[in-house]
Amino acid sequence: MTKALLVVDVQNDFCPGGALAVPGGDAIVPVINQMMAHYETVILTQDWHPQGHSSFASSHSDKSPFDTTTMPYGAQVLWPDHCVQGTNGAAFHADLRTDADLIIRKGFRPQIDSYSAFFENDQSTPTGLFGYLKERNIKDLTLVGLATDFCVAFSALDAARLGFSVQVELDACRAIDMEGSLKAALEKMQNAGITLGQL
């Protein structure tokens, strides 16, 4: 078996009522649960920030949520406090099946954000997921989850760059879509040879 389903950040804070709610974020949960039945390997990612994380606007005295700042590794959007380790907001949506093979946490280093499931936003600190997939001989990845234009897209682009055959099921994703970010992400993914599927 060389196919895996990578379920990105289906957590309470990205669902309606959460700190960084993605419109319709909860609507994908039943769709993803159904998809899981068709994959032998299922991997979940979990955004997992310490309190006071550098990606939080509240950690910068002169910034508001959704402003941009410059980090040593480049531009970084500043977010409302979200997915703080151990909080209900960081927990998976209560209806999401969590009987996965692997749960990979990201964004836990105070000074670096991590959108991608493979590398942090400095684009060089690995999460270990590549080694896991290699050892398991997994070559095809289907990505679903939140948010299409941030963590899903960054993960898919890294996966394509690392040589995986990559598919993103758009019906099982929802976007934040700030300042054209969804259109830009879809274009980048298309240009990288990623298959954009509608179920």
- Residue numbers of the site for ligand VGL (CB under 6 A)? 9, 14, 47, 79, 115, 146-147, 150-151
Q: The tokens 């690995």 sit on which residue?
A: 126
Q: Residue 145's beta-bridge partner residues? A: 8, 173
Q: Which stretch binds Zn ion (CB under 5 A): 32-40, 104-112, 129-137, 164-172?
A: 104-112
* CA Rg value for the chain: 16
- Which is catalytic among the residues 15, 83, 151, 173? 151
DSSP 179: T
140 is catalytic: no
106 is catalytic: yes
Residue pair 146/79 in contact by the 8 Å Cβ criterion: no
* Residue 47 or 120 with smaller CB distance to Zn ion: 47
Binders of Zn ion among residues 28 to 57 (CB under 5 A) are 47
Q: Which amino acid is at 160?
A: A
Nearest approach, Cβ of residue 135 and Zn ion (Å):
27
- 146 makes contact, choosing from Zn ion, ligand VGL, none, with CB < 5 to 8 Å by partner type, with ligand VGL
**What is the C-alpha end-to-end distance of the chain, expressed in Å?**
22
Q: The tokens 């939140």 sit on which residue?
A: 146
Closest CA to 29 of 39, 41, 16: 16
- 4 makes contact, choosing from Zn ion, ligand VGL, none, with CB < 5 to 8 Å by partner type, with none
Nearest approach, Cβ of residue 86 and Zn ion (Å):
15
Nearest approach, Cβ of residue 60 and Zn ion (Å):
15
- Which is catalytic among the residues 106, 149, 158, 173? 106
Cβ partners under 8 Å of residue 179, min gap 6 = none
Catalytic residues: 9, 106, 151
